[in-house]
Structure 1
Amino acid sequence: MAGLERCDLKLSGGEVIDGTGAARMRADVAIVDDRIAAIGDLSSVRAGREIDVTGRIVAPGFVDVHTHDDRALLSKPTMDMKVSQGVTSVVVGNCGISLAPLVMDRRPPPPLDLLGTEEWWKYGTFDAFLTAIDEAPASVNAAFLVGHSTLRVGAMDDVYRAARSDEIKTMRGRLEESLDAGASGLSTGLFYAPSEQAPTEEVIEIARALKTHGGRYVTHMRNEGADVVKSLEETFLIGREAGVPVIVSHHKVHGKDNFGRSKETLALFDRYRKSQKIGLDVYPYHASSTVLKADSIAFSNRVMVTWSVPHPEHKGRDLKDVAEEWGVDVYAAAERLQPAGAIYFSMDEDDVQRILSYPQAMFGSDGLPHDEFPHPRLWGTFPRILGHYSRDLGLFPLEEAVRRMTSLSAEEFGLKDRGEVAEGKFADLCVFDARDIIDSATFEDPMTPAAGIDTVIVNGRIVWAEGRCTGERSGRALRQGRA
C-alpha cells in the first residue's frame, strides 16, 4: 500500500515465504485491520504493535484441507490443536460426515459418531449450522463440505441399500440448499457402512448439483487397498459425469500386499489430470485412524484403541493386548469394545514419502479431535512436514512445502484472498523457526504441541503466541464464493 504511514501490527525483520513457491525474501509485513497492507522495508511505518521476527519465517497460515472439526469449531473454539501447529483455516465435513443438515434423536451410526452423540446433531439446515459458527466464532477460519453419509441418514429409512429415486431427489435438494448457504462441496465416505451400498450412479446424480455452484467432489474412496485403482477410476468417473473438480482424500495404499503401488496410483493421477481437474491430499504418517472396523483390522500390522464407549479404560492400548487379556481373538475384542475407534498401522513409509513428494498433493491432518487418545496427526501434521520431511529428509524445499499447505490448498478449495503473503490478502500468517520446527506429538503421547511455532495470526488477530492460545477467536465461516 503506497504511502502507508501507520499500521495496526508489524512483523519486522523476518524472511517471507509467500506461499507461491517463490524464493524467500527479507521483508517486513504490515497489517491493517484484517488485511496485509504492505510488504518490504517498512522501517518508517509506525505500528500499534511491532513484533521482531528476525531469524524467523513469515508464511501464510496453513490450510488443513482434511479435518473432522465440524463440532470442534463449537465445542473447542480456541482450536489449540490447530493453531499450535500454524493452521489458520480448516476444511470440515470430510469423508461423507458433516454435522449438517441433520437432526438426530439417537446416537448416529458410525462413522458419524466421530463428531459426537445425538445432542450435537441439531442443525436441520446448513444455514443454521453456519449461523451458529458466525455467532460463536472459533480461532480459525473454516470452509464446509456436505457429507453424503449425513444426507443418506437424513433421507433414508435404511442406509444399508441403494437409495431410491425419491431419496436421491431429497438428498440432492438438501445439497443444493447447503450450497446456496455457502457450503463448498460434497464429500463421500464410500468406504463406510452408511454409504458403501450407494452405487456410483447415486453419487453422480447427487453430485450434479455441484456444477452450477462451483463446488467440488471430495472423497474417501471405497477402497484404498487391493481395489485402489478401481476406486480411483470410479472417483474420476464421478467427476467427469458431474462435470466438477475431484479431490481424493488422504491418498494412500494400505495392506502389505499393496506396498509400492503408489507408483501405479500416482501415474493414474498424471494420466487423468490431463483431461479433468483432479486434486488429492495426504497426511505424513504410515498409520491411519477411524472407527474400529473388522476389515481395517484385517490388513493392519498393529491396531491401537483410541476410544471405546463401554470400555474407555482401554484407550491407548494395543487391541492385541486387550484381546489376550480377555482370552478372545482381536475381532471378538473389537466387537466387545464397540462403539470404538482405532489407529491402524498398515502403510509403507516409502509410499507415504512418494505421495508426499507428488507436486499436486495438498496436506491435511485427518485428525479426530474428539478421540480420547487421538492419532498424533491431530497435533503434529504441519510441523512434521516442515521439520521432518522437508528440513531433515529433504523431500522438498521449504518453499515448496509451504506452497502445498497454503496457496495450492486455497486455490483448490476456493478460499478467496487466502493462502499467500501479498498486499490485500487476508492477514492469516504463521511465524516459525525453520531450524527448530518439528512435531512433538507421538503415538504414545499424542496431544503435545509442536515446537518452533512462534506466532499465529488469523484475520489480523494473534491467536497463538509464546506457546499458548491468546483467547482471540477471529476465525470466520468461509462461504463458497464469498470473502
Structure 2
Amino acid sequence: MDPHSHNDWFAIKTEPLKYFEPFIRQGITTFVTGNCGLSAIGFDDDTPHKAKMGGGLFSFSGTTGKYGSIKEFNAATDRNIPCNIATLVGHCSARASVSGYENRKLSAKEEEQMLQILEANLKDGAAGVSLGLMYEPGLYAGTDELKKVVELCCKYNKPLTVHPRAESKVSMSYGSLFGRPHLLRAEDELVEISKGTNLKLQHSHAIFVGRQSFGYKDEFVAIQNRLRESGVDAMFDIYNETLGVSVITVILPAWYQGMSKQQRKKPFNKLKLRVLITAASAMLGFGLKDIQIAYIGPGYEKYEGKTVHEIARENGKSDLDMYLQLCEESDFKGRVNMGPYSTPEIIREFEHNPNCLYMTDACVEDFGVQNPAIYDCFPKFLRDSLIGTGDTMPNTIRRMTGATADRFMLKDRGYVKPGYFADFTVFDENETKNATPDQAKSFGIKKVFINGELVLDNDELNASALKTTGRALTV
C-alpha cells in the first residue's frame, strides 16, 4: 500500500494501465491518492476554474471526464482501474474551485463554500483532506482558514496530509533568508494549526532539500514527538530516494517569471537574479550542478538525463545562462530531477521510526526521464531489511500494509484475515537481498494479487484482468 500517491489523476485516464504498471511490478496493490492539496476531486461542477485543478502539475488531458466529487469519481473508476485507490480531497482544489489562484484571504462566503466542498467529500467517502502549502492556491491560505480545515478532519476523524510550506533551510515561502530555518517555520505552522486537537496529522514526504538542510533532521523528529505528546496523532512518510521531481522553475523567483522577455534580458535584472540564486544556493547547499533535466519538450531530448552544469559545458555557457535558456525553451514548464533531498543515513534512521510509513510520491510521465521511485522504491525497503540496514521484516511489511490501512481506515485491507480482500505480494528474499537497486526496474517481486486476481506472475502482467481488478475505496 502506497500512502502518498497522485494516481487519482491517472486512474481517470482513458488507458490507465501504463501509469500503474511499474507500481504493480514493485508489488503495490493499493494507493492513497489526492495528496499535496492537488486532488482530481473537490470542485463544484459549475466552477469556472477547472483548468486550475492540479496546480500546474496535473491536468484533465486524456481523461474520461472531470469528476468533482468523490461519489462521481468512485463511480467512474470502480472496477475500471488496475489497482485499488482511496482518495483524499485536496484543499488546493477546493480553494481553486471558489477563487482560482487569487492571492488573498477568502471572503466569508467563499470560505464557507470551500469548507462545504471539503465536508461533502469527507461525508461521502474521501479518505481525508490534503494540504499543499507550497502550491497555488494553498500557499495563500492563512492560519485561521487552515484551522477550520483541521476542525473538519477532527469532526470526521480522518487524516490531514500536509505538504508543508517549506522543506529546506531557505525557500521562496518566507520573506527573510535569515532567522529560523524555513523548514522549521513550516513545522511551527503545523504545530499552531493542530494545537489542542487530536488531529491525525500526516506529514508528507519528510525531506530536507539541500545539504545545508540535513542538520535540522533531529529538530524535525523532536517536533513530531512533541506533537504526539500533546495529543496530536502525528506521523510522517518517506520514499527510499535521495532525489525528487520538481518543475524547472523551482529555484526561479516569481518576480523574475512575471517579467516580459525583454525585461528578463536587462543586465540589472539578470545580475539581481544571479546574486539571489548564488546566495540561496550557498545557504541551501544545492546548485545547478544538482539539477538534472527530465523533460524540456519535443526536440530537446538531447538534454534529458544531463545536469544543467553538463549541458552548460557542452554549449560553452555559464550554468545560470544555460539554466535560463532551458527555462525559456520549455516555456517555464520543464521537469527536473533534483537533489539531494535526503541522505542514505537519514532514510535508514527513519525506516526504524515507529511513526513513519513508506511511500513513493511518484507518477509515470508520458515523456522524458522518469522519477526513479516508480521502479523499485518498495523493493529497496525490503532489501534494506534483508541486508540489516532497515527495520525488521515484520515491521517493514507492516508499514507497507496494515499500518497504512489503519492510518487511512481502509476497511478489510492490509491484513491476512478471513473476510479481508486478497491483495498479496510475493517476493523472493534471495533475489531481493542480492539485487542491485536503481536500475530503472523492479526486483524480487514474483507474484501480485489484487482482489484475489493474479495480475503479475514472474514478470508477466495479466493486462486483460487489470482492466477491472481495482476498486475505488470509500472510507
TM-score, length-scaled by structure 2: 0.80
Q: Which structure dedicates a bigger proportion of its chain to strand?
A: 1
Cα deviation digits, residues 225-268 of structure 1 (max 9, x gap): 12222222222332346652100000122222122321221122
In the alignment, what sits opposite 1:51? none
Alignment of 1:77-92 (within 5 A): 77-78=16-17, 79-92=20-33
Of 203, 206, 212, which aligns to 2:146?
Answer: 203
* 1:162 CA drift (Å): 2.9
2:341 matched to 1:341? no
State the alpha-carbon separation in 2 of the partners of residues 107 and 474 from structure 1. 29
* 1:101 CA drift (Å): 2.8
Question: Given that residues 279 and 412 in structure 1 are in contact (C-alpha distance below 8 angstroms), is that contact kept between their aligned partners in structure 2?
Answer: no
Alignment of 1:394-409 (within 5 A): 394-409=389-404
* 1:107 CA drift (Å): 8.7
Of 17, 25, 34, which aligns to 1:93?
Answer: 34
Q: 1:167 to 1:206 in 2, by over 3 A?
A: farther
Q: 1:402 to 1:193 in 2, by over 3 A?
A: same
State the alpha-carbon separation in 2 of the partners of residues 348 and 194 from structure 1. 31
State the alpha-carbon separation in 2 of the partners of residues 371 and 225 from structure 1. 29
Quick one: which amino acid aligns to residue 219 of structure 1? V
State the alpha-carbon separation in 1 of the partners of residues 104 and 111 from structure 2. 12
State the alpha-carbon separation in 1 of the partners of residues 385 and 398 from structure 2. 12
State the alpha-carbon separation in 2 of the partners of residues 317 and 109 from structure 1. 31
Q: Which structure dedicates a bigger proportion of its chain to helix?
A: 2
TM-score, length-scaled by structure 1: 0.78
Alignment of 1:75-474 (within 5 A): 75=13, 76-78=15-17, 79-102=20-43, 108=51, 112-118=55-61, 120=63, 122-134=66-78, 136-226=79-169, 227-240=182-195, 243-274=198-229, 275-295=231-251, 298=281, 299=284, 300-301=286-287, 302-309=290-297, 313=301, 314-323=303-312, 325=315, 327=317, 328-337=321-330, 338-346=332-340, 347-370=342-365, 372=367, 373-387=369-383, 389-437=384-432, 442=438, 446=440, 448=441, 450-471=442-463, 472=465, 473-474=468-469
User: What percent of counterpart residues are identical?
Assistant: 25
Cα deviation digits, residues 36-85 of structure 1 (max 9, x gap): xxxxxxxxxxxxxxxxxxxxxxxxxxx10011111222335332121111
Question: Given that residues 341 and 371 in structure 1 are in contact (C-alpha distance below 8 angstroms), is that contact kept between their aligned partners in structure 2?
Answer: no
Extract unaligned runs of 5+ from structure 1: 1-62
In the alignment, what sits opposite 2:3? 65
Question: Aligned-pair RMSD on alpha carbons?
Answer: 2.6
Quick one: which amino acid aligns to residue 95 of structure 1? C
State the alpha-carbon separation in 2 of the partners of residues 349 and 159 from structure 1. 40
Cα deviation digits, residues 432-476 of structure 1 (max 9, x gap): 11111277773xx64x2x121111111111111120221223221
State the alpha-carbon separation in 2 of the partners of residues 166 and 105 from structure 1. 17
* 1:390 CA drift (Å): 1.5
Q: 1:155 to 1:105 in 2, by over 3 A?
A: closer
SS in 2 for 1:463: strand
In the alignment, what sits opposite 2:271? none
Question: Given that residues 234 and 355 in structure 2 are in contact (C-alpha distance below 8 angstroms), is that contact kept between their aligned partners in structure 1?
Answer: no
In the alignment, what sits opposite 2:270? none
Q: 1:308 to 1:98 in 2, by over 3 A?
A: farther
Quick one: which amino acid aligns to residue 336 of structure 2? A
SS in 1 for 2:148: helix
State the alpha-carbon separation in 1 of the partners of residues 436 and 69 from structure 2. 39
Question: Given that residues 68 and 369 in structure 1 are in contact (C-alpha distance below 8 angstroms), is that contact kept between their aligned partners in structure 2?
Answer: no
Question: Given that residues 306 and 371 in structure 1 are in contact (C-alpha distance below 8 angstroms), is that contact kept between their aligned partners in structure 2?
Answer: no
* 1:184 CA drift (Å): 1.1
Q: 1:320 to 1:407 in 2, by over 3 A?
A: same
Quick one: which amino acid aligns to residue 160 of structure 2? Y
Question: Given that residues 247 and 335 in structure 2 are in contact (C-alpha distance below 8 angstroms), is that contact kept between their aligned partners in structure 1?
Answer: yes
SS in 2 for 1:114: coil
State the alpha-carbon separation in 1 of the partners of residues 100 and 412 from structure 2. 42
Residues 424-433 or 253-262, more deviating = 253-262
Extract unaligned runs of 5+ from structure 2: 170-181, 253-276
Question: Given that residues 307 and 341 in structure 1 are in contact (C-alpha distance below 8 angstroms), is that contact kept between their aligned partners in structure 2?
Answer: yes
